[in-house]
Amino acid sequence: DTAVSQTPKYLVTQMGNDKSIKCEQNLGHDTMYWYKQDSKKFLKIMFSYNNKELIINETVPNRFSPKSPDKAHLNLHINSLELGDSAVYFCASSQDLPGGIGNTIYFGEGSWLTVV
């Protein structure tokens, strides 16, 4: 059973389209995240939700809108896709705060988005 699962794994789409990536975790965690890994392999946090509430919103264009229908799901919707949005998007979850004493973050396998 996959702990954090994302769909789709691969997505090729044209500029200007709107697309969504879905994420589900079956770990019973309270906190979920979206990370973006660009072509230079830098991994940056985009959003974090705790108990369905947005707690981190990094400097991300408002074309990106996360939605958390319940604690187990965090979806990422992207409007008006641009070439620069091409990246690998990772969903992750943790039991409350990941830092400090070590609540581990569990990552999904990634969604490879290519905008053409």
**Rounded to the nearest whole angstrom, what is the least distance from the CB of residue 60 to another protein in the complex?**
13
Do 24 and 31 touch, CB atoms closer than 8 A?
Answer: no
Q: Which is nearer to another protein, 8 or 16 (CB)?
A: 8
**Rounded to the nearest whole angstrom, what is the least distance from the CB of residue 15 to another protein in the complex?**
25
Tell me the one-letter amino acid at 39: S
**Rounded to the nearest whole angstrom, what is the least distance from the CB of residue 6 to another protein in the complex?**
9
Query: Which residues of this protein are in contact with another protein, per CB under 8 A?
Result: 4, 31, 33, 41-45, 48, 50, 55-56, 90, 92, 97-102, 104-110
Burial (Cβ within 10 Å: 0-12, 13-18, ≥19) of residue 1 = exposed
Neighbours of 91 (CB within 10 A): 28
Q: Which is nearer to another protein, 14 or 41 (CB)?
A: 41
First to last CA, the chain: 33
